[in-house]
Amino acid sequence: MNRLWYKLDGHEVMPATVQEAEASLNDVAARTVGDTTIEGVRVSTVFLGLDHNHSGEGPPVLFETMVFAEGNRELDGLQRRCCTWAHAEAQHAIMVNYVRQMKEAGLA
């Protein structure tokens, strides 16, 4: 399988060399789509720089939303990946809403 590297130009994804991608990843603020903490549970959505589409079919999968909730089995490690900045923004909002609902219901 041929994995490809990417960088961001604003919110647009561009093919890149490994060196360009690594340099792009050093700018954490530029690659962070969202970072929200709710009662100690962190939801983070970032640009990955490396295509995580392991099937090789379809567009590159370059963004990841991850939940960090140490000691909380219901939430810790929840993860979703997607292809575009716009989808990553929506995915982040959905995960934040999910965490809030779980907290309000006393399930997390």
Q: Which mean pLDDT values do the consecutive 10-residue runs of the chain (108 residues) have? A: 81 94 92 97 97 89 97 93 98 98 90
Q: 0.85 cut: is pTM over it?
A: yes
**What pLDDT shows up at residue 81?**
98
**What pLDDT shows up at residue 1?**
39
CA gap 98, 107 in Å, rounded: 11
CA dist 17 to 5, 8, 42, 74, Å? 6, 12, 31, 38
Q: Distance of alpha carbon 46 from its chain centroid, rounded?
A: 4
**What pLDDT shows up at residue 3?**
63
CA gap 14, 59 in Å, rounded: 12
Q: What is the dihedral of CA 93, 95, 98, 103, to 10 degrees?
A: -100
- Amino acid found at 25: L
CA gap 71, 27 in Å, rounded: 30
